[in-house]
Amino acid sequence: MPARIENSFGFTRTELAVFRKLSTTEKVQRFLDEEVLYDPRVSCRSPRRVLNERRGHCMEGALLAATAIRLMGYPPLVWDLEAQRDDDHVLTIFRRDGLWGAIGKSNYSGLRYREPVYKNLRELAMSYFEHFFNPRGERTLRGYSRPINLSQFDATGWMVSDDDPWHIPNYLTTITHTPLIPRKVVARLTPLDSRLKAAGEFGMRKAG
C-alpha cells in the first residue's frame, strides 16, 4: 500500500476525517455504493460537493474516488470507457503489485469495482464488456482511453471547487481511445441475455 499523503488539498478537517475512513480501495467503493445516491442529472460536482451532497453519477464518483485514493498515496487516475449508442463510463483506476483494478459509481451493478487482478488495461476493459449495455440490451462498449492523472488539473482547484469542473470531462472527449473489438465484429453481436440484463439493472436507483 502506498504511503498516505498528508496534504489537505484545501479540504476542511471534517472533510478529511471522512476521507481518512476511506482507507482502502474497497472502502471507497462501498462509500460510493452506500453513501452516494446515484443522480443521473447533467452535472459535474467536485469531490467536495459530492462528499457533502452525497449525490453523483459516474464522472462525479470517479473524481471523488480519485481524490480518496490520492490521499492514500496512489496517483489520481481516471479512465474513460467509450460507448456506442450509449453513455461513456468514467472510472478511477489503480495499480497494486503491477495489476490493475477499478472503482466506479454506476446505476448498473456490473460497472463498479474490479479487484486489482488485471495485467493490462485491455484486460480490465474487457471485464466490463458483457456488463456494458444500453436500455435496449445492446452491448455498447467499444474502446478505452489512456489513464489520465488528475494532478495535471490541480491549478484549477478541481477537488474543492464550488463550480462544476467541466474541463475534466471535456478533456476526456478530446483524447484518443483504443478500440476494444474489431468493427466487423460489432454487427455480429447478439442481444444481451435477459437474465444478465436483469442482474445488471438490479437495485437501480433514481434521484429523489
Q: What is the pLDDT of residues 177-191, one digit of tens each?
A: 999 999 999 999 998
Give the pLDDT confidence score for residue 76 in this predicted structure: 98
Give the pLDDT confidence score for residue 208 in this predicted structure: 44
Question: Mean pLDDT for the chain?
Answer: 95
Q: Which domains does the chain have, with CATH numbers?
A: 13-200 (3.10.620)
Give the pLDDT confidence score for residue 206 in this predicted structure: 55
- Interval 69-78 mean pLDDT: 97
Give the pLDDT confidence score for residue 35 in this predicted structure: 97
Cα–Cα distance, 201 to 6 (Å, whole number) = 39
Residue with cell 485514493: 69
Give the pLDDT confidence score for residue 130 in this predicted structure: 95
pLDDT digits (tens, 9 = 90+) for 7-24: 899 999 999 999 999 999
Give the pLDDT confidence score for residue 207 in this predicted structure: 46
Contacting residues for 199 by C-beta, under 8 A, at least 6 apart: 109, 110
Q: Of residues 3 and 102, which shows the higher confidence score?
A: 102
What number of other Cβ atoms are within 10 A of residue 164's Cβ?
Answer: 17
pLDDT digits (tens, 9 = 90+) for 106-153: 999 999 999 999 999 999 999 999 999 999 999 999 999 999 999 999
Give the pLDDT confidence score for residue 6 in this predicted structure: 73
164 with 48: CB under 8 angstroms?
no
Q: What is the DSSP letter of 178?
A: E
